[in-house]
Chains A and B, each alone.
Chain A
Amino acid sequence: DIQMTQSPASLSASLGETISIECRASEDIYSNLAWYQQKSGKSPQLLIYAANRLQDGVPSRFSGSGSGTQYSLKISGMQPEDEGDYFCLQGSKFPYTFGAGTKLELK
């Protein structure tokens, strides 16, 4: 199975701060990488797919980048509503595998 190593496990950011979350795959996943946000008590929601494509309705302060085995999610200007858990997911090979998650809090 492809292992997804996500970092950091937790992050505290100030209002307006730019933050990045990283995911490293154990093998090339050819940009088959999606990012999800999960707010407390809610279902995950798709933010980014194909490594850098913004899902409809997602604010433009979210962006994704990367290729091969290294990917990142950037939030350009932390907002209060961005608090939550973030997960990466590789969809290159079955079984699809998630990163362990990053808990993002507002400082």
Chain B
Amino acid sequence: QVQLKESGPGLVQPSETLSLTCTVSGFSLTSYSVSWVRQPSGKGPEWMGRMWYDGDTAYNSALKSRLSISRDTSKNQVFLKMNSLQTDDTGTYYCTRDPDMGGVMDAWGQGASVTVSS
């Protein structure tokens, strides 16, 4: 079945770089896009960006200068890197399967909790 799982450090120092990995199974990264979504505690989600099935990327303009999304199809993994982290970057980070159907994210990972603190 379709599964996504985020992994990465739970604690990041202010001004440092967040690196997260999304490992997928049950579908191919060359057939489906993967979007990253984050959610501060108690708040609404924010779409961060997408790795298209063809290897292209799209980013939220609010994060574009700090954000990079890449992939390794041989390992079924999508990577998120975001630099210059601040305390308001604290939250839960999700990777999602995104079939490019106008806002459809039909499978979500369990989420990775990230705290930015010294």
- B-binding residues in A (CB < 8 A): 1, 31-34, 36, 43-46, 49-50, 55, 87, 89-92, 94-101
Contacts and interface: CB of A to CB of B under 8 A. Distances in A.
Given A44-B45, A98-B44, A98-B45, A91 B110 contact: no
A3 to B, nearest CB: 12
Contacts of B108: 43-45
A55 B101 CA distance: 12
Interface of B is mostly: loop
Interface of B: 35, 43-47, 58-62, 94, 101-106, 108-111
Given A44-B45, A87-B45, A92-B102, 14 more contacts: A31-B102, A34-B105, A36-B105, A44-B108, A45-B108, A49-B102, A49-B104, A89-B47, A89-B105, A95-B59, A95-B62, A97-B47, A98-B46, A100-B44
Given A32-B102, A34-B103, A87 B60 contact: no
Given A87-B44, A100-B44, A32 B103 contact: yes
A43 B6 CA distance: 12
A46 B58 CA distance: 22
Contacts of B43: 100-101
Contacts of B47: 89, 95-98
Given A50-B102, A98-B45, A43 B110 contact: yes
